[in-house]
Chains A and B, each alone.
Chain A
Amino acid sequence: MTPTVKNVALPLICLALLLVVPAVVSDSYTRHLFIIAFIYAIIASNWNLSLGHCGVFNFGHLTFFGVGVYTAAIAAKTLGVSPWISILSGGVTAALAAFIIAAPVARLKGIYVVLVTFAFSQLAMQLVLSQSQITGGAEGMVRIPYLKLGDYSFIRDYKLGYYYAGLALLSVSTLFLIAVTRSPFGKSLTAVRDAEDYAASRGISVSRQRILVLILSAIFTGFAGGFYAIYLRVASPEVFGFGTLSLALSMVLIGGTGTTFGPIVAALALTFATESLAGIRGFEEARFIVIAVAMILVLRVAPGGVLGILDRLLPSARQ
């Protein structure tokens, strides 16, 4: 398998298959799972941009998602903005939140980045809980306006519109990630991750690249948050919680840090795996243990993630 097959042909085949899924799968629940998987895939693959490609241990990535969720919810429901514009505004505010969080962490290293970014996510959650007159507090916000295109409601036809909107958002996000990681800027992120001093000696500003990567990783995560709020018509403070964070992190680690497609594949696989396990009696809660074990096994056996295993099995795929 050549790199062209791995990086171009396989993703295009996967996209083609996902495009025809609604023709085969007509039940609303399975389509819902796909939509949720697309959202997680956007979160995980964009998180991987900062964590995997640049080595920034940002544990506040879900904050960007939460900011997107609440921005879209408030814009669409409270301010009466079009849901389409509300989704886009989620990306803008998430990027702004990233800029604010990036400034203090740009010069920090390792565990300090984890602590500061995690504290920031908890701060965001407390802000949402305390400003209940705007955010609905612990109850959250419900009955958020849904997407429409002319007179066509996206809820109709077993969520067909949401399925394709979610897939389109994931596709554009993936193209964006490919463009970023293959650019000289993307290469400089890898340089900063692997040899900070050497990168600085070649004219790369380490702190500037860290700030930029956090902002870039927040944009589509914020769009995904906005889409999530408009799709589920709910905004709840759980999005800032440790459960969502650990699930998204497991997708990045199982999929493989530093690869663009790994976290996307893992997001799709884990969303369906956890839902299947939830349907088995006695496994309702044990599914999280299964994910944890899978994460430990992958990190132990193939630190490069599932796509790393693929490379090992098909050595010619290596560059």
Chain B
Amino acid sequence: MSSPILQAVGVSKTFGALKAVNEVSFSVNRGEIFGIAGPNGSGKSTLFNLMTGIPFGPSSGQVHFEGTQIDHWPAHRIARSGLCRTFQKDAEFPELSALETVQISAAYNGRLSRKGAASEADKALDLVEMDAARRTMKSHGLSVYEKKQLMIASALVSKPSVLMLDEPASGLTKPEISNLDALLINVNKSGITVLLIEHVLSLLLSVSQRLMVLNQGAVLAEGAPAEVVKDASVIEAYLGGRG
């Protein structure tokens, strides 16, 4: 088995009396697709936030990336080091075009020259198969799917070693989800480790090699997806309610 590329050691996040993330520990192996599931409010996105320093780090615990402790780093430094994420809600720079959005990510995250950023931006948008005619439009005019494509392209352009995706399939149609499924597998095959939070279980189960389920900020179960979904506590907390 490959060495862990990303590791959380007892990370917690408290907001007043609320423990949104409670002593969570897990490690992600280099090259795998690691799924994270859990009911609404279970702390999945907060876990992503504190691992990427956006907008805050953990209240306690440690995050290690490529063997270095990063939980005290500012968010832009974490991103530049190769731990790149997307957001659950539509994150966009509404006044910038898709091309400009990917270019500034290439320039800052990828530290590329203007020319290099322009060329890599085209490649990244090609990779996510974004319609060429839509690339020069301001982002606020793009569809939900195009915004998701753009968010992934702007993360991939800097060639991160880990890509963290926060519910990329939400709001998408079935054909769009199946395109996303294929894209994730391709991205992973290119050597990028993927962390995936997802509500669409079919996507999560089809692409994840390991799965972790959170409930009320703590780890409920972790292991092979087929095993985890059979776990009685998982069925009760998460899957049971859905039939």
Interface residues of A (CB under 8 A from B): 183-184, 187-188, 190-191, 194-206, 258, 319
Contacts and interface: CB of A to CB of B under 8 A. Distances in A.
A197 B76 contact: no
Contact of B104 (A187, A206, A258): A187
Interface stretch (B28-36, B88-96, B199-207): B88-96
A205 B155 CA distance: 16
23 contacts: A184-B114, A184-B117, A187-B103, A190-B96, A191-B104, A194-B93, A195-B91, A198-B87, A198-B91, A200-B53, A200-B55, A200-B75, A200-B76, A201-B52, A201-B76, A201-B79, A201-B87, A201-B155, A203-B80, A203-B158, A204-B104, A319-B97, A319-B138
Interface in B77-109: 77, 79-80, 84-85, 87, 91-97, 100-101, 103-105, 107-109
B223 interface: no
B92 A195 contact: yes
Classify chain B's interface size. 35 or more
Contacts of B154: 202
Contacts of A319: 97, 136-138
B54 interface: yes
B41 interface: no
A187 B101 CA distance: 8
A181 to B, nearest CB: 11
Given A184-B114, A187-B103, A187-B104, A201 B54 contact: yes
B74 interface: yes
A280 to B, nearest CB: 40
Nearest to A189: B104
Contacts of A196: 55
Given A197-B55, A319-B138, A203 B76 contact: yes
Given A200-B55, A204-B108, 17 more contacts: A183-B114, A184-B104, A184-B107, A187-B96, A195-B93, A197-B54, A198-B91, A200-B54, A201-B75, A202-B79, A202-B104, A202-B158, A203-B108, A205-B76, A319-B97, A319-B136, A319-B137
A319 B99 CA distance: 14
Contacts of A184: 103-104, 107-108, 114, 117
Interface centre among B101, B111, B117 (most CB of A within 10 A): B101
Nearest to B113: A184
Contacts of B95: 190, 194, 258
A101 to B, nearest CB: 21
Contacts of B87: 197-198, 201
Judged by DSSP, the binding face of B is mixed
A309 B94 CA distance: 19
Interface string B156-193: 00100000000000000000000000000000000000
B54 A203 contact: no
Interface centre among A183, A191, A201 (most CB of B within 10 A): A201
Contact of A203 (B91, B94, B101, B105): B105
A203 B81 CA distance: 9
Interface in B100-139: 100-101, 103-105, 107-111, 114, 117, 136-138
Interface centre among B74, B103, B117 (most CB of A within 10 A): B74
Top 7 nearest A-B pairs (CB, nearest first) are A203-B109, A203-B108, A200-B75, A198-B91, A202-B105, A184-B107, A203-B80
Interface in B10-30: none
Contacts of A206: 76
Contacts of B96: 187, 190-191
Contact of B79 (A188, A191, A200, A258): A200
Contacts of B108: 184, 188, 202-204
A204 to B, nearest CB: 5
A188 B109 CA distance: 11
Interface centre among B53, B103, B108 (most CB of A within 10 A): B108
Contacts of B80: 203
Interface centre among A194, A195, A199, A203 (most CB of B within 10 A): A203
Contacts of A204: 76, 104, 108
Nearest to B95: A190
A195 to B, nearest CB: 6
A205 B109 CA distance: 10
Contacts of A202: 79, 84, 104-105, 108-109, 154-155, 158
Contacts of B101: 191
A120 B103 CA distance: 36
A203 B138 CA distance: 21
Contacts of B92: 194-195, 198
Contacts of A200: 53-55, 74-76, 79
Nearest to B86: A201
A190 B93 contact: yes
Interface string B136-150: 111000000000000
Nearest to A199: B93
B84 A201 contact: yes
Nearest to B97: A319
Contacts of B105: 202-203
Interface string B34-71: 00000000000000000011110000000000000000
